[in-house]
C-alpha cells in the first residue's frame, strides 16, 4: 500500500493548525482564566490570612485589655475592701470612744446625783433627829429631872481627879454656871461650894445663868475651860453615828 505523503502532510498541517487554534482560542483563555482564578484565590487567601492575623492581634489586644481591666478591677476591689475595713475600724473606734465618754459622763452624773441625794438625806435625817430629840428632851424636862441633872453634875465634879485652876485674870473673875433650867438656892449653894473646893479659893464668885441651848444640861465655864453635862452631848453622839452610817454610801462606787 502506497503512502500519500501529500495527504499526510496536509493532515499534519491541519493538525498543527488545529493545535494552534485550540491553544490560541481555547487553551490560553482557559489557562488565563485558571491563572486569574488562582490569583484571586491566592489574594483571597492572603486577605483571609491578613484578616486572621488582624483578628488574632485584635483578640490578643482584647485579651490583654481584658486582663488589664480584670487586674484593675481586682485592685479597685481590694482598695475598696481596705477602705471599708479602715472606715469600719475608725467608726468602731469612734463608737467605743463615744460610748466610753457617755458612760463616764453618765457614771459621773450618777455619782454626783448620788452624793447630792446622800448629802440631802443625811442633812434631812440629822435635822429631823435633832428636832425630834430636842422636842422630846424639852417635853420630858421637869423639876425632878432637872434636880437629877444638877446632882449628877455635882457628882461628876466631885469625881474629878484634878482641881479647877484659879481664875487667870483676877480674884474677882467669876465662874459662870449655865443651866437650861432655873436652879434653886440650895442647888446653887451646893454647886458654888463644890466649885470653890475644886479651885481651892472660897472667895471666887460663882454666877448662875440660864441657857436653853443646853437642852436639859448644866455647864461650868471658867476662862477658856468648860465642864458640862448635857443631853445635847448624847444628841451629838447620835448625829455622829448617823454621819458614820452614811459614809459607806458616800464612798461606795467611787472607785469605779
| CATH class for the region spanning 141-251 | alpha beta
Average pLDDT over residues 131-140: 62
More confident residue, 108 or 1: 108
Q: CA 108, 111, 112 angle in degrees (round to 5)?
A: 85
Q: Which of 148, 145, 141 is nearest to 215 (CA)?
A: 141
Determine whether 101 is exposed, middle or buried from the number of CB atoms within 10 Å of its CB (0-12, 13-18, 19+).
exposed
User: What ranges do the domains of the chain cover?
Assistant: 1-105, 141-251
Query: Rounded CA gap, 179 and 145, in Å?
Result: 13
pLDDT, residue 4, reads 73
More confident residue, 78 or 142: 78
pLDDT, residue 43, reads 87
pLDDT, residue 169, reads 43
Buried b (16+ CB within 10 A) or exposed e, 176-200: ebbbbbebeeebbeebbebbbebbe
Average pLDDT over residues 102-129: 78
pLDDT, residue 234, reads 62
Share of the chain above pLDDT 70, in %: 72
pTM score of the predicted model = 0.38
Query: Rounded CA gap, 192 and 206, in Å?
Result: 6
More confident residue, 143 or 219: 219
pLDDT, residue 41, reads 86
pLDDT, residue 168, reads 47
Helix 28-140, helix 231-251: angle, nearest 10 = 170
The DSSP bridge partners found for residue 179 are: 210, 218
What are 169-190's pLDDT values in tens digits?
A: 445 578 888 887 788 888 888 8
Amino acid at each position: 500500500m502506497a503512502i500519500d505523503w501529500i495527504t499526510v502532510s496536509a493532515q499534519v498541517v491541519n493538525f498543527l493548525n488545529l493545535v494552534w487554534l485550540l491553544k490560541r482560542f481555547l487553551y490560553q483563555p482557559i489557562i488565563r482564566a485558571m491563572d486569574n482564578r488562582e490569583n484571586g484565590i491566592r489574594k483571597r487567601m492572603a486577605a483571609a490570612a491578613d484578616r486572621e492575623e488582624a483578628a488574632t492581634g485584635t483578640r490578643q489586644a482584647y485579651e490583654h485589655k481584658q486582663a488589664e481591666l480584670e487586674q484593675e478591677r481586682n485592685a479597685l476591689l481590694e482598695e475598696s475592701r481596705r477602705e471599708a475595713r479602715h472606715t469600719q475600724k475608725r467608726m468602731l473606734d469612734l463608737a467605743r470612744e463615744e460610748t466610753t465618754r457617755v458612760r463616764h459622763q453618765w457614771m459621773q452624773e450618777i455619782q454626783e446625783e448620788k452624793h447630792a441625794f446622800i448629802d440631802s438625806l443625811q442633812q434631812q435625817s440629822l435635822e429631823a433627829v435633832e428636832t425630834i430629840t430636842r422636842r422630846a428632851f424639852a417635853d420630858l424636862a421637869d423639876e425632878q429631872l432637872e434636880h437629877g441633872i444638877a446632882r449628877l453634875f455635882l457628882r461628876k465634879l466631885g469625881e474629878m481627879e484634878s482641881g479647877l485652876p484659879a481664875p487667870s485674870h483676877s480674884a474677882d473673875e467669876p465662874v459662870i454656871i449655865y443651866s437650861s433650867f432655873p436652879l434653886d438656892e440650895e442647888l446653887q449653894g451646893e454647886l458654888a461650894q463644890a466649885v470653890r473646893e475644886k479651885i481651892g479659893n472660897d472667895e471666887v464668885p460663882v454666877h448662875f445663868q440660864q441657857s436653853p441651848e443646853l437642852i436639859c444640861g448644866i455647864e461650868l465655864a471658867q476662862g477658856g475651860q468648860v465642864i458640862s453635862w448635857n443631853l445635847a452631848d448624847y444628841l451629838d453622839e447620835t448625829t455622829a453615828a448617823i454621819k458614820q452610817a452614811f459614809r459607806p454610801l458616800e464612798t461606795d462606787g467611787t472607785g469605779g
